[in-house]
Chains A and B, each alone.
Chain A
Amino acid sequence: MKTLVSIDIGSTWTKGATFSLTASGLELLERVSVPTTQNNLVVGFHETLARLLHQDSHTSLEELKDRAEVFFSSSAKGGLRIAAIGLVPDLTLQLAKLAAMSAGGKVIKSFSFSLTSSDVKELEQLSPDIILFSGGTDGGNSKYVLENARKLESSRLSCPIVYAGNRAVAEEAINVMKSREVIVTENLMPEIGQVNIEPAREKIREIFLKRIVVGRGLAEIVELFGAQPKPTPLAVFELISAIPEFYPEWSDLAAIDIGGATTDFYSNTESYLETDTVVLKGIREPKVKRTVEGDLGMRVSARSLFETGQDYLQDRLREEGLEFKDMEEFVGRISDKIDYLPVGDKEKIFDRLLAEACVYYAALRHIGGWKEVYTPQGKVYMQTGKDLRRVKAIIGSGGFLSEERTAAVMAIPLKKLRNYGEEIKLLPEKPDFYRDRYYLFSLLGNLIEKYPREASTLAVASVEKLNQKGEQND
């Protein structure tokens, strides 16, 4: 038997679990959480590890290290902050955003066409961790890319720049940006409509390891354990990618992870089925896709969620017979005190409505749609974005959804989306809902690289199917 430890250093909590690995597979032994120590992440990490291994807190990390195989991830203050630069909004910029999000990043701002001097100023102020710089197909447009390269060169930005634009001028672009750290990778869109986000994702991941880890004590952990941390969302992304490889019955899968600051939506399903009556517009999205919404969250982002989610929330409050201004007050309270727990039935409903709104808007942005068009040849559908109709399972993760005993929080908003605007949203048709019962997904994601089968098996075994009728399961 081997003991594995997986630790996820989140923005508020450092979560950890111990697993036993035997011939028959992976088994969860224990799960703990301690507050994250922001100034020096090692302290919280150390405490988590000591508690998981039942040692007193004075045991040195060196000693603890030999007692288990340790894996860890870090959300890096709520995810890597990436600024995306592309050319046309619906083409290279769209892909830059997708690549950044699939690599576990948060797109803090995106820019199309030429950067203006106020754009550059804004970039300097935002001070992103990485700039993902794309534009032009291979051999295609170079004017904008080179012009933007010159502007980046003369800016006061210091972050690494991942160049994933027109390959034909890659060298020229490096020359222009000679005082910057530029990492060149393959073009995100070598040809119109051809999606190639993997190489850029990989580079972003590498930079995450090298750059972001330095400074808050993570380097010490890396050196000691000889292992690299993963960005937390990437861990989940890899788990969602891996599960169907070992469990084909779990293909066509989606997951929603609602946190305090962001809501992540993952899907693993073919994005477009070509038929005579459906024409795809824009890019063909990747099979495994992650989107992250920085304005949707239960606490840190509660205020922005309340603003974004007005329409949905007004509608739901009416149905629940509750007052808008009461909820507004509640949102004010939880925003001022982000560890506030709802008291009484009314506040609990407000909290659930916030979660519903997260699901609603995250799904709205993640999932594509059809527009009906009448042509002389008959009715045709124009599809933009990703088709999730075949998704059979939707798993809720994150602090809130892991605790949720009914499917309603996910099912109600998805049902409401059916009548969104004129577009037909390509929602999962008859999904089953599950919860990540022990809130293990990010922790299991850390194990994926080394133990893909074992981690996938435990992930599948630890989810619980939720009752869709609204009654509690136990």
Chain B
Amino acid sequence: MARAISPRKKIMWTALAWGLGLLIFFPIMWTFLTSFKSEATAISDPPVWFFFDWTIENYSTVLERSNYPLALTNSIIIAVGSTILGILIAVPAAWAMAFVPGKHTKDVLLWMLSTKMLPAVGVLYPLVLLAKWLGVMDSRILLIVVLMLINLPIIVWMLYTYFREIPGEILEAARMDGASMKSEIFYVLTPMALPGIASTILLNIILAWNEAFWTILLTTVDAAPLTKFIASFSAPEGLFYAKLSAASVMAIAPILIMGWFSQKQLVRGLTFGAVK
């Protein structure tokens, strides 16, 4: 827009936006601050904002005297594992559908989408039964498989939309330049597809990390990731706000950072490309 925007208007919008933004962000900020308070300070009346004795005792308590490290390991393994498994299955499928489209490609894609809409409670008991029967209840491998299955449609869709954006002419140019199928894939297609694959991986790790149905119901102790670990704070004894805050900050920090970098991917992935 080439028109001059009055600085007064700009300041007005800035104030309004920042005000509302900080309001929305407040709970996260408050959690962050509380994590550095002592339990007594955390519930002080009136509440304290910035000026108190900052301490990291909550962090050390949570890290040393609870299952937090195990839960963190589980979250990482499950999130990364299900993502990698999903990518291995999805890349060939999305590749084939994007570059060799057939009569039924659209139907297959829509069907995959529909599996994502299956309510989890509809298959809850059979899954519990199967897990017990196979002896994999409360195991990381079970969750890796289950989370891969529920996110596979999103992975396939995202990759499909990214692959479709690779201009066909560039692949034809590679063919004219004498590239065999293998060379075409290795030297041209893959480098051009990597950014899309990376974005998909990023979004999927976020979704798997935050998944809070199967991770809660299919685990007890051994494979419990952070979602379940935090859930155990729902009715503890004694003062716990500061410790809850510390645990929460550690649970959400990596994903918050990843999330800030993946806004565009979020839009594409969760609307199945319907909004770009």
The answer to whether A and B assemble together is: no
Give residues in A with beta carbon < 8 Å to B. Answer: none
